[in-house]
Structure 1
Amino acid sequence: MWPQLGRVCRKNMFICQRNLLSAATLSKCRQGAAASNHVRPLSSCKALVYRNHGDPSQVIQLENVDLPPVGPKDVLVKFLAAPINPSDINMIQGTYAILPDLPAIGGNEGLAQVLEVGGKVTSVQVGDWVIPRDSGLGTWRTAAVLAENDIISVAGDVPVLAAATLGVNPCTAFRMLADFETLRPGDSVIQNAANSGVGQAVIQIAAAKGLNTINVIRDRPDFRQLSDRLKSLGASHVIKEDDLRRPEMKEIFKTCPKPKLALNAVGGKSATELLRHLQVGGSMVTYGGMSKQPVTVPVSALIFKDVKVLGFWVTQWKRQHSHEAFRLMLDELCSLLRRGKLSAPACAEVPLSDYRQALDAAMRPFTSAKQILITD
């Protein structure tokens, strides 16, 4: 059975690297609720569909799909923006931990606005902004009829792109900083893949908590520019992976304590080096494996430093925790957004019709901007 979908974005939009949609687009988002009472029921829509696993740019197609009627506990929504995350790519490739039935619609994250609600819906109303509660919803589409329980509302006074990218990376960063070590102002956190969406959120949330961050990124031609950007977000130190094995690390620890917490999204040697710099009794939390290499833990780290090696998957956290717990986290993140302590990652806005361009860009090495599919 098809997931439910909607209308397509036809308007040409420019590529930009900023945290807000264009003023014209944002105005349309705000006006959507007022206009919804006069919109004829949607019977079909556009969506990015794949029928087989494989290279996303080859198996994804933009198609028309029928929409079902809105049931008593259903909600009709119009999608506004949906990012392309690594997990989305892995899901299409068939390598992710959870895979939807085929044919399927791409995308696990995004922002939508409620256009119509069923008669028994109580948690949202027309005009609300909503995001998915779980993975696998299929957000690369222009509209959908969704079960009320599949969505959760977010504040309508935060930037559109920040709201569209709120449910995965910032939530992952928030939970890892909160759930594994008791961190107090002045404590340190070390992480690799610091320029990723999660990495940027870690930097900002940690800075808001008064924590030091040691941020590891791969060497690249624009290292200095990227380092400056991460420091502008609140990074205490930005270093190259090779620096982890150099004596110069001692200089960093003259200005901040050794980290209690290490966050690993790479694996392989990078993870081993993070472990080397942890405090006695510290924790390394793995939430990704970009190198596709296993995490190797030195025996000395386990015996003499008593480090803890754990994993984290935000999808599992959402499934194990209540709606209220998720709501509390979203409220705290939105508070950071309002206070200017958190922002969306650097983004490139791409019309849904230009999805191949966005997919290609998302899969290039050293990508500096998260690709955001925009609908209208």
Structure 2
Amino acid sequence: MLSQQSHFPAAMSPPSMAAVYYKYGPVDTVIRLTEIPPVEISENDVCVKMLAAPINPADINRIEGVYPNQPPLPAVGGGEGVGEIHSVGSAVKVFSPGDLVIRSPYVPGAWQTYMVEEQSLWHKIDKSTPIEYAATVSVNPVSALRMLNEFVTLKPGDSIVQNGATSIVGQCFIQLARFRGIHSINIIRDSPKSDEVKEKLIKLGADKVFTESELDVKRVKILLGDTPEPILGLNCVGGNAATLLVKFLKQGGTMVTYGGMSRDPVVVSTSNFIFKDITLKGFWLQEWKLSKTKYRDWIDYLLGLARAGKLKYEMELVSFNDFHKALEKAMGKHGSQRKQVLIF
């Protein structure tokens, strides 16, 4: 007698609306909103209803094709985000519908209304967390925390110097350094609103804020006053802004480059290498090897600060239906300085 087996229909996700790109190139021309049919939910998968996801410069660079490792095409954009568990596979025990979760960074696909992925890619967080901070914590704030912790040994009373101070990473550097009693010297671009920007950064905890033109002098260290010379410099701009940053560094200082917003090369004088023993390093979060436990501990620490109102940065919440408007702002076409966060 043949044994009989019950065949249950596979659990499926709802259909999803997604921002999909089919080739690499200028992001505003190669990506479009597309409906994705339901996806099967395997036993170790979770289906997550996305709530919010930011548009990061790294997301744009990935779609432009400038990164060495790329997902197979077509692909859904977006490298981080927060969602709510919609349903779970039969073997999933650690998640339940309604849990608030964030995804591992740089796993492509955050810009869609529903996601189906293996449960290990998600981390449950406190439901009281503001979704805009949950959506943005795993790339920029984590990068700031890592760079402060792992390139040089900083102690209370030390100093750091950075350009790109108005970015989310820059704002996090200022606040995280202040919590540890570390001084921050900050370089910003010249603009008609420079004084307003300075005031905002000082309110966050910045010790010194200078425009690039204010540093067009031979001895920039005179501007420090009683603030110690920084041992760590954090560069995300390149070009002249990086050259100015190096001028501040003390003997044996280190500059870490984690971006190149100006698209100009980093130029360091020979004398800074020979007579100041300057060290140059690079940082790319995607290639950073960190244990899952430590990474998630850092996430919980940062979100705890955000819930307590101790970690703040500027964001603009935009409906996913207005994706292309948000994309234009994220690319700087409308002069917006705020991080664009898509709300689903």
For the criterion TM > 0.5, the same-fold answer is yes
Structure 2 residue 302 is the aligned partner of structure 1 residue 333: yes
Deviations along 1:119-152, one digit per CA (max 9) or x if unpaired, are 2224433322222213142111111111112222
Structure 2 residue 342 is the aligned partner of structure 1 residue 373: yes
2:71 pairs with 97, 100, 110, which one? 100
CA distance, structure 1, for counterparts of residue 136 and residue 342 of structure 2: 11
**Alignment map for 1:1-376 (pairs within 5 Å):** 42-246=13-217, 249-317=220-288, 320-343=289-312, 345-364=313-332, 366-375=335-344
CA distance, structure 1, for counterparts of residue 60 and residue 265 of structure 2: 20
CA distance, structure 1, for counterparts of residue 254 and residue 113 of structure 2: 42
1:292 corresponds to which letter in structure 2?
R
User: 1:260 Cα shift?
Assistant: 0.8
Moved more, 108-117 or 360-369: 360-369
User: 1:112 Cα shift?
Assistant: 1.0
Greater RCO (CA < 8 Å, at least 6 residues apart): 1
2:296 corresponds to which letter in structure 1?
R
2:23 corresponds to which letter in structure 1?
N
Q: Does the 8 A contact of 2:221 with 2:248 survive in 1?
A: no
2:139 corresponds to which letter in structure 1?
V
2:181 corresponds to which letter in structure 1?
G
CA distance, structure 2, for counterparts of residue 184 and residue 270 of structure 1: 26
CA distance, structure 1, for counterparts of residue 277 and residue 318 of structure 2: 47
Q: Gapped runs of 5+ residues in structure 2?
A: 1-10
Moved more, 327-336 or 83-92: 327-336
Q: Does the 8 A contact of 1:99 with 1:136 survive in 2?
A: no
**CA RMSD for the aligned pairs?**
1.8
CA distance, structure 1, for counterparts of residue 218 and residue 243 of structure 2: 16
For 2:276, what is the secondary structure of its paired residue?
Answer: coil
Q: Does the 8 A contact of 1:205 with 1:341 survive in 2?
A: no
Amino-acid identity (%): 42
Q: Gapped runs of 5+ residues in structure 1?
A: 1-39
